[in-house]
Amino acid sequence: MSVQVNVNKENAKSLGKFLISTKSELKKVHWPNKKELTNYTTVVLASCLVMALLIWAIDSGIGYLLKLILR
């Protein structure tokens, strides 16, 4: 049982160190302000829309070509 108790104490110490280091690292992160976040969101949504339209166009083109071939 003493081995189990020592392991649990070491795990608790490791967890404590992990949480402290995580907190200090999160303080170093550059969090975007509202304007930056809005700009980033706009870019992501626009990129998704462009890619969706591109995939739709390619899919429609391939479908049309297959219809012509299989006629």
pTM check: above 0.75: no
pLDDT reported for residue 7: 59
Domain that holds residue 1: 1-29
Alpha helices in 1-71 (DSSP H): 2-28, 34-70
Instruction: Compute, in degrees rounded to 10, the torsion defined by CA atoms 59, 63, 64, 67.
Output: 180
| Residue 4: both structure tokens together | 């189990």
Kindly report each contact of residues 29-33 with a partner whose C-beta sits within 8 Å and lies 24 or more positions away, as own/partner: none
pLDDT reported for residue 8: 72
Dist CA 54 CA 33 (whole Å): 32
- 8-40 pLDDT, tens digit per residue, is 777 778 888 999 999 999 999 999 999 999 999
Q: Are residues 48 and 61 in the same domain?
A: yes
Q: Are residues 23 and 36 in the same domain?
A: no
Count of structural domains, the chain: 2
